[in-house]
Amino acid sequence: MSTDFHHSSFASLISKLLRNAEFRTALEDSLDEPGKSVLRKIQESTPVSEQEVDEIYDAAYEAYRENLSQVLCLGWDGNHPGGSGALYVGELEGVYLVSSSDYDDAGPFESLDEALELEYFQIRTPNPELDASEIPLERLLEIARDVVDWEGGGEIRINEERYVVQGNDLVKVGA
């Protein structure tokens, strides 16, 4: 698997992720006895070597991906074959992962703000859409400002509502 996901950073967050029962169960169920021994060490806050972390990394990463909750989706449509895609921000126990239809996974991030610093969220995007039920509208509008085409009379859909550029603002259509 080719990814920008930082192996050593993720390893340090495994103990935090173990607070999630579904993650913990999925990880435990996928490990052999040597892996379970490494997991016990992590749970007991006993130091583990990089080699020991390597033994459980793939299983931990898969358990993490399987149990993420999607908190944000940025989609786009370039109106041509291959011109559409999406970025997904998932979260589990305050650990964020950015995955995409077009890019390798990136993370882990310890906050949504840190994840949103990725250059992908700073690129003018054709026909952008943002979907996020748990993020306040004000924050979604901040994100939208970085992906909307300001010069071309841009617009964006945020949680199914259409917003258009008016001067220096994004204004909800029909408001």
Region for residue 167 given its phi and psi (left: phi exceeds 0; alpha: psi -120 to 50; beta: otherwise): left
With bands split at pLDDT 50, 70 and 90, how would you rate the model's confidence at 82?
A: low
Which tops the pLDDT comparison, 71 or 1? Answer: 71
With bands split at pLDDT 50, 70 and 90, how would you rate the model's confidence at 1?
A: very low
Region 65-85: mean pLDDT is 86
d(CA 10, CA 68): 14
Q: Percentage of the chain surpassing pLDDT 90?
A: 64
With bands split at pLDDT 50, 70 and 90, how would you rate the model's confidence at 48?
A: confident
Contacts of residue 2, defined as CB under 8 A and 6 or more positions apart, other chains included, come to 104
pLDDT of residue 9: 73
Query: Do you know the residue count of the chain?
Result: 175
The number of helices, as runs of H, and strands, as runs of E, in the chain is 6, 9
d(CA 158, CA 175): 14
- DSSP H or E run through 13: helix 7-17
* Listed range (25-29, 33-37, 97-101, 140-144) with the worst mean pLDDT: 97-101
Whole-structure pTM value: 0.86
Which tops the pLDDT comparison, 50 or 152? Answer: 50
Region 111-136: mean pLDDT is 93
d(CA 163, CA 148): 10
The tokens of 100 are what?
């995409």
